[in-house]
Homo-oligomer: A and B are copies of this chain.
Amino acid sequence: MSEKRKVHLDDHEMPKFWYNIVADMPNKPYPVLHPATGKPVGPADLAPLFPMQIIQQEVSSERQIEIPKEVRDILKMWRPSPLYRATHLEKLLDTPAHIYYKYEGVSPAGSHKPNTAVAQAFYNKIEGVKRIATETGAGQWGSALSFAGSLFGLEIKVYMVRVSYDQKPYRKFMIQTWGGNVVPSPSPDTAAGRAMLAKDPDCPGSLGLAISEAVEDAVSRDDTKYSLGSVLNHVCLHQTVIGQEALIQMEKFGEMPDVVIGCHGGGSNFAGISFPFVGKKIKEGMKVRCVAIEPESCPTLTKGPFEFDYGDTAHMAPIVKMYTLGASFMPPAIHAGGLRYHGASPLVSQLLREGFIEAKSVPQIACFDAAVKFARTEGIIPAPESSHAILGAIQEAMDAKAKGEKRVILFNLSGHGHFDLASYEKYFAGKLTDYAMPKEDIDAALKDLPKVSV
């Protein structure tokens, strides 16, 4: 019990550079394609959506990209984030494994999302943008960008997937407290939203659709750009502060992970914790497995094909090569709202395709079982998204126990569950169900893959 519990780093130990894994990937990423033409886009095509420095980061193959001082000064409000050894959980599991977790719930919005929100708000601000439109699933991203917007004096418009808007009023109030403007998606504020409402007034929404609304909002206004909280290369890039800090912290604990685990929705949280380790695996032959854990109800990495697909429902966002369930895929309203995206980060997808990382899907109820075990030992009530990583870590620890192996496990606890307690109540009341996506539903949603010319 008196083993070291945690390692905090000093302000000056926060990374000064983001780590760009593209520099170390043996094969270059596929190009990004225009949704109308199916042909590779250039910076000018992306300019209505993103500030130029973000576009440059999106296509960069520089290994190290400097984090601007203004961004670092804000990240220091909560970074470096702590890394804990889960001694109480280990004891409960009676496992020879050592379980560590990096905790991103210490950020103002309670998740890893502000790491990129601050950077994106900054680049928009210095290029004179006044307003950013975005989408949010569980509300983590919308609140993170509202927080960042409030610091830089930017107006933030959030299209929030309706099922979460209704289930998570507190996230909505949080967005408002930071001065953001939030509407349920589908909304009457955009053509994409109005079209969906005409077809289905009770549509619960999806991330794909909310993206369409936010993109439409951004391209239709001169003062507005768009911002995405996951999937894209620059977002994964900004999250690598997590894994870089974890490397230093694990060194201070005196051991390195055999396995690194992150939950997977769009991919940025998984990229954040794992890419610095994957880089060491590629370059230095570090012996480490990196495992992305996704929900069985939205099994993009484990059941989708690796194809070019639209990023959004209305085909306004760029086409990228990724594992996908099809842009028209409407996931069931499970509670891990942040993991309901039909696609996946192109970088994560390619690394999976090329065998540098692994993926696994898990059922919902087992995730809540794991979350409650964690809350009652380690004290932190996790976000349902993060509980997927906890379950992944527990499964590794039990496997190590069965095999009598010492195994060092590191996972990213991407956020706390303070706004998800209604889901916990449903879990305790036995009202949650598991749902594995049937193959025929996935096949059906994949009929509309875009025609591309690359």
Residues of A within 8 A of B (CB): 1-2, 4-6, 8, 10-11, 69-70, 73, 76-78, 84, 88, 106-108, 110, 147, 150-151, 169-170, 173-174, 176-179, 372, 375-381, 418-419, 421-422, 424-425, 428
CA separation between A418 and B174, bound complex, in Å? 8
26 A-B pairs whose Cβ atoms sit less than 8 Å apart in the complex: A4-B11, A5-B73, A5-B76, A6-B76, A77-B88, A77-B378, A88-B151, A107-B379, A150-B376, A151-B376, A169-B421, A170-B418, A170-B419, A170-B422, A173-B421, A173-B422, A173-B425, A174-B418, A174-B421, A176-B425, A177-B375, A177-B376, A177-B424, A177-B428, A418-B418, A418-B419
In the bound complex, do residue A106 and residue B106 qualify as a contact, i.e. CB atoms below 8 Å apart?
yes
CB-nearest residue of chain B to A377: B151
Distance in angstroms from A366 CB to nearest chain B CB is 17
Minimum CB–CB distance from A210 to chain B (whole Å) comes to 22
Bound Cα distance A1, B176 (Å): 26
Q: Which of chain B's residues has its CB closest to A418's CB?
A: B418
Give A4 to B5 CA distance when docked, in angstroms. 25
The answer on a CB contact under 8 Å between B378 and A73 is: no
Told that A150-B376, A177-B381, A177-B421 touch, could you supply 15 new A-B pairs with CB distance under 8 A?
A: A1-B73, A5-B11, A8-B8, A78-B379, A108-B375, A108-B380, A150-B375, A151-B377, A151-B379, A170-B170, A170-B422, A173-B422, A173-B424, A177-B372, A178-B376
Q: Is the CB of B179 within 8 A of A376?
A: yes
Shortest distance from the beta carbon of A136 to any chain B beta carbon, whole Å: 16
Copies in the complex: 2
Contact B70 A1 (CB under 8 A): yes
A384 to B380, CA, bound (A): 22
What is the CA–CA distance of A68 and B453 in the complex, to the nearest angstrom?
Answer: 69
For A88, the chain B residues whose CB sits under 8 A away are: 77, 151
Which residues of chain B are near A4, meaning CB under 8 Å?
11
Say how far A28's CB is from chain B's closest CB, in angstroms: 37
Min CB distance, A12 to chain B, in Å?
10
Q: A231: shortest Cβ distance to chain B, in Å?
A: 25
A170 to B419, CA, bound (A): 8
Task: Report chain B residues within 8 Å CB of A177.
Answer: 372, 375-376, 381, 421, 424, 428
Q: Which residue of B lies closest to A425 (CB)?
A: B173
B179 touches A2 (CB 8 A): no
What residues of B have a CB within 8 angstroms of the CB of A424 in the complex? 173, 176-177
Closest 9 CB pairs of A and B: A108-B379, A173-B421, A8-B8, A418-B418, A170-B421, A150-B376, A173-B425, A5-B76, A1-B73
Nearest CB of B to A393, in Å: 17
Q: Which B residues touch A376, using CB under 8 A?
A: 150-151, 177-179
Min CB distance A343 to B, Å, is 30
- CB contacts (< 8 Å) of A378 on chain B: these are 77
Known contacts A1-B73, A11-B5, A418 near B110 by CB under 8 Å: yes
Interchain CA distance A424-B379 in the complex, whole Å: 26
